[in-house]
Amino acid sequence: MAEDSARHDRGRERDGWDKAEIILKPVGGMLTAVAVAVLGFWTSAYLRDREGREATLRERLQTQETNARLYSELTSHREESESALRKDMFKSIIESFLRSGQKATSEQEVLNLELLVYNFHESLNLTKPGRRGSDEEADAHHRGGRGELRRDGEPQDAHFSRA
């Protein structure tokens, strides 16, 4: 039976559709192969490009992390060196006050006090005990002791008024 149908197909005349089928079967296979190749090429190019962008992003993040780490280390070393310098300066100034056997001049004492005040004003309170917050007494002292303080803390001579 199969032979009869094959003979029948060979014996009949082929029309345009049969000829198109014969030509388009291999062309269709070829077009399918080309489409798969083009799709593969585009996909691999996309993946390569994406991988390159991710590598660039990783490098950028790594550089930022390295820069942040370096900055924190530099800041830490700077703070350590500033602390060591302040410690050595404080030690030197205090030793100049505590030297036994040598009497410092008043200029040297003032200079040492100024160094202490300028460099360690956050850490030290160099006012006399009991006089803290007494601006009126300090004002009276700077005026040469002219004004006496009343019991309420205000000066008796009212040449100026406090705002």
Residue 76 lies in a domain: yes
Burial class (CB in 10 A: 0-12, 13-18, 19+), 139: middle
Residue 156 lies in a domain: no
Residue 71 lies in a domain: yes
Residue 42 lies in a domain: yes
Residue 126 lies in a domain: no
What is the residue range of 75's domain?
15-121
Domain count across the chain? 1
Three-state SS at 25: helix
Q: Please provide the average confidence, as pLDDT, over all residues in the chain.
A: 78
Residue 134 lies in a domain: no
pLDDT at residue 141 greater than cutoff 60? no
pLDDT at residue 90 greater than cutoff 90? no
Task: Indicate the pLDDT class of residue 13, thresholds 50, 70 and 90.
Answer: confident
Mean pLDDT throughout 99-122?
A: 76
